Amino acid sequence: MLERIPGDLIIDEVVVGPVGPRDVLVRTAAAGLCHSDLHFMEGKYPHPVPTVLGHESAGIVEEVGSQVSYVQPGDHVISCVSGFCGGCRQCLSGHPNLCDNAGFGVDTAGPPRLRRGDQPVFQFAGLSSFAEQLLVHENYLVKIRPDMPLDKAALIGCGVTTGVGAVLNTAKVRAGDVIAVIGCGGIGLNAIQGADIAGAGRIIAIDRIASKLDLALTFGATDVVDASAGDPVGAVLELTGGGVDHAFEAIGLAATAQQAFNMLGKGGTATVIGMIPLGERVEIDGFQLLMEKRLQGSNMGSNRFRIDMPQYIEWYLAGKLKLDELVSAVMPLEEINDGFAALKGGEVARQLVTFD
């Protein structure tokens, strides 16, 4: 639980509320540590406290509400922050990840989903995955095949969907395209393997840490650029003889978003995946727009998660999508602050908290 911002997490007992008509109670098997959680712990994005963080998880359904028909007790599920109401303009036009009705699953007149004693505890992203149980609206879950390992399935809940989806759904990379990915953490590695799956002709991985560049090569990168050794934009322009078709920013900084745009060739697209802190502005040279260059964002890989995630599982089980190689460490909940310290240090890809 996060009690103050900025701050570390504490372990405490939280009472889960009653299961509402459209709610599902899930026993959490595993949850991933994501930079997004760290942003809220550091105060880069606001959130009321106390709150239970976590949003990348998988588990087994324990109980369902009276109006739930999609899942039943015993089903294996992945959670996703892209809860969809199914009736707004964004949902009906094929963009459920941009659902207009934020908080649609919360009954404000009923008892809180989470509480500590008499004090309500805020649910993070409609999920709060760093807990033994999740109580969520059914439209935050996707049912998956039971032979999929739940610890690896948890990775799909955010990191895989965000990185692979940015390439396949948001940018729509085509076979033969030349790609650059800035940042080779969990999101960036998934963008790299998404480009590989799409058949990109050349994939350039950019980072400041040698071990992460080595890992990028195992995920499909064809070239690497050490950003600590000089100007990465100049290096990419030299490697490609004029720039890339697509550049992906997977760190969440204005400076690297600008670098992504500046390494484009004519007609290229820069896609910002990382969460740039509130208030930071990205500046580009307006003349470059005449070269039909584009700068765009990606929200959770522009996903339709009930379609995308089962496909990612099929790719994993067929050996086409790497998940095991993403895991830098597995830990109990009691070690979660150590995990976030390692994440902040930049040396890890993805870490998992597992529950007995």
Are 161 and 303 contacting, i.e. CB atoms less than 8 angstroms apart? yes
Query: Which is the catalytic residue, given 35, 36, 137, 246?
Result: 36
Distance CA 325, CA 348 (A): 11
91 is catalytic: no
Cα–Cα distance between 253 and 187 in angstroms, integer? 14
Written as six digits, the tokens of 330 are 């597995």
Catalytic residue check, 158: yes
| CA pair distance 16, 135, nearest whole angstrom | 7
Helical residues (DSSP H) of the chain, grouped into ranges: 35-42, 89-92, 150-155, 161-165, 186-198, 210-218, 232-240, 254-262, 305-317, 336-345
Marked catalytic residue, from 34, 80, 91, 184? 34
Whole-angstrom distance, CA of residue 295 vs CA of residue 284: 9
Among 85, 158, 184, 302, the active-site one is 158
Q: Are strands 133-137 and 114-116 parallel, antiparallel or unpaired?
A: unpaired
Tokens describing residue 76:
């294996």
- Strand 294-297 and strand 264-272: the pairing is parallel
Active site residue 34: yes
- The helix or strand, by DSSP H or E, that contains position 52, with its residue range, turns out to be strand 51-52
Q: Which amino acid is at 95?
A: H
The full DSSP string for 279-334 is T------GGGGGGT-EEEE-SGGG--HHHHHHHHHHHHHTTSS--GGGEEEEE-GG
Phi and psi, residue 124, nearest 5°: -85, 125
Pick from 246, 309, 297, 303: which is nearest to 273 by CA? 297
Instruction: Considering the candidates 35, 39, 76, 137, report the single residue annotated as catalytic.
Output: 39
Question: Can you tell me whether residue 240 is helix, strand or coil?
Answer: helix
**Angle (CA) 40 41 47, round 5°:** 45
Where in the sequence numbering do the catalytic residues fall? 34, 36, 39, 55, 158
